[in-house]
Amino acid sequence: MRQLALTKSTVRDLQGSLTPKFSGWYDAPFPPMYLSGSKWNTRKRRRRSNPWRIVLLLLLIGGVIYVERVVVPQTPPLFVVTPIPTRNPATIILEADSLFRAGKLALAEQAYQEAISIDPQEADYYTELARIEVFGGKYSAAVTNASNAILLNPNSAMANAVLGWALDFQSQLDPESADILEALQKIEKAVELDPNSALVRAYYAEIIIDDDVTAFQQAGEQAQLAVQMDPNLLEAQRAVGYVWERTGNYDLAFEAYQNALRINPNLALIHIAMGNMYFNNADSRSAIDSYIRASTLAPENVIPLRLIAQAYARDGEFGKASQYAQSAVDLEPSSSRLHGDLGRMHYKNTDYDSAIESLALSIHGGSYLEGVQVAGLPLDPGDPLVVEFYYMYGLALSKQGRCDLAVDLSEALITGVPDNEIAAINAQEILILCGLIDPPEETEA
């Protein structure tokens, strides 16, 4: 095998050829590289400034600052309910007064309730709300709100007067209550606090005559004093008419009520009074028209409905009478008297089963419909209406052959109201229908 002979010079040449070409790369700075005429020239050429670009940039910066400092603070947080601006109570009261004059009592009540929600410490708001509720036939609510006004201002003459007036009306639905006595106490305190108030005097006249009809002279003086103080006060004219009505002077009462109606023709209370005048003059149709007008103006007031039923019953239209009596019960299902009224109308319509159901609830009490509790009415010699409920209940039972209960009612009438001639006659009739006694012999003329 032929061997390659290497000389020293040949070895040096080979070693030199194996040495890296970039020897010393990390030991010395890399020399700059220029590529003439190439776009890769690393020494960039400076551009000239564009003034429009600078203006645009400044505008963008200004916009960011405006949004940060102006727009964002005024923007409400997401998903947060925007608060409704609070109304001025004075504006609400003006609106309520306007609604009251227009006969829109429900809306007037809402306005005063809104005012109370804004300022619940203002006693006058509760007083005016209670006054409107009396006109609307909401006597229990009126008593509550007038009492709230007195809690806030015990020395408010108007709050005491309105409470007394509301209690007076409430007492007419339940004569056995002590409401009329409390009404008299409240109105007397109101007179002491403000003897120069025409409204207080008008309320005083009504409460006096309701407490004691024989005090008609004192009541009349108070009513006339109210008119002298303010002849354009509706309540003053109504008080005069009411005192005349309670004393049987219907023509004079009619005139006073007409004066009240001219002051405000949109209040149910005055139309009820006018209806009573027509009814007492044997004009049932005109009375019914007035009562229906009153019920339209005060749809939550049971009094017009009771009076409509009474007017229809007097004309012998017992079916219609029962319908209106039922409507009254629907408004106040816990009222034992309203159930008694309904039972009377059913009895006169010869619907004895329905009469027994309603009269039993009125007299004994119990549960009505969806758990409404009705308190029973005890037999009271001084309450002719309750006495009528008892003997009509006994008559209905006897006519249906339920003499076990009917006889008990007859005995209760005989012993409980011995001086009531009508009750005695009907108690005897119950025993006759049940075959326990013979009918009296007819005497020859």
Is residue 255, in this structure, part of any structural domain at all? Answer: no
Is residue 404, in this structure, part of any structural domain at all? Answer: yes
Instruction: Let me know whether 344 and 401 are in one domain.
Output: no
Q: What is the CATH number of the domain that holds 325?
A: 1.25.40.10
The last residue of a domain, from among 355, 375, 395 = 375
pLDDT value of residue 74: 56
| Domain span including residue 384 | 378-445
pLDDT value of residue 49: 56
* Among 102, 180, 112, 105, CA closest to 138: 105
Is residue 371, in this structure, part of any structural domain at all? Answer: yes
Instruction: Let me know whether 389 and 367 are in one domain.
Output: no
Give me the amino acid identity at 119: D
Instruction: Let me know whether 347 and 423 are in one domain.
Output: no
pLDDT value of residue 152: 97
The last residue of a domain, from among 375, 402, 431 = 375
Number of domains in the chain: 2
* Among 172, 171, 169, 222, CA closest to 200: 222
Rounded distance, CA 361 to CA 401, Å?
Answer: 19
Instruction: Let me know whether 299 and 363 are in one domain.
Output: yes
How big is the CA angle at 219 (ends 280 and 131), to the nearest 5 degrees?
Answer: 80
Is residue 296, in this structure, part of any structural domain at all? Answer: yes
pLDDT value of residue 334: 94
pLDDT value of residue 2: 39
Residues of the chain with pLDDT under 50: 1-44, 79-80
pLDDT value of residue 444: 56
pLDDT value of residue 136: 87
pLDDT value of residue 26: 33
Is residue 136, in this structure, part of any structural domain at all? Answer: no
pLDDT value of residue 28: 37
| pTM, rounded to two decimals | 0.73
Give me the amino acid identity at 341: D
Give me the amino acid identity at 235: E
The last residue of a domain, from among 324, 342, 375 = 375
Rounded distance, CA 425 to CA 100, Å?
Answer: 49
Instruction: Let me know whether 321 and 300 are in one domain.
Output: yes
